[in-house]
A = this chain, B = another copy of it.
Amino acid sequence: MARDPFRLIAQAQAEYARCIDDDRLEAWPDFFAASCVYKITTAENLREGLEAGIIFANSRDMLRDRVSALREANIYERQSYRHILGQPCILSDDGAEVRSETSFLVMRTVQDGDSQIYATGRYLDVYAISGESAKLRERIVVCDSSRINTLLAIPL
């Protein structure tokens, strides 16, 4: 089959979401290239040119550290997350790097309770494509709401 970045990215997104929702956070950094940017910010900050972000990492090792910190801090509240993603929009493709944008919705469920909307927004991604492998070189997570828990537990 010919190289198909849309398909590769759609599958990478689905596996990324599954990894987090299954609480296999130790595998989450493997979706990124060794040198990468991961940032969580809000639509308001982005609009106002505020660079800071709520969470920032610029290497896969920093992502691993973050997972370790999350595990240590873990309050054993029984809750689970469910990502539902839209189709990726391919914005550019130079053969090695593909820029894409994908809407997301994340719901949170406390074990015996209702499911609630936890976050909505979009991923601004740069994927490094090589053969059948698609790794995130950059993921900016832009949340629609500015009211984000700064102790934000899980990766988005």
A interface residue numbers (CB < 8 A to B): 1-2, 4, 6-7, 10-11, 13-15, 17-18, 21, 43-44, 80, 82-90, 101, 103, 105, 107, 109-117, 119-122, 144-147
In the bound complex, do residue A89 and residue B122 qualify as a contact, i.e. CB atoms below 8 Å apart?
Answer: no
CB-CB nearest in chain B for A145: B109
**Which of B43, B115, B116, B119 is close to A119, meaning CB atoms less than 8 Å apart?**
B115
Number of copies: 3
Query: Bound complex: CA of A107 vs CA of B114, how far in Å?
Result: 12
Given contacts A82-B144, A116-B117, A119-B115, contact A11 B89 (CB under 8 A): yes
Q: Do B89 and A18 touch across chains, with their CB atoms under 8 A apart?
A: yes
Alpha-carbon gap, A21 to B59, bound state (A): 30
Report if A85-B82 is in contact (Cβ < 8 Å); known contacts: A112-B145, A119-B115, A145-B109: no
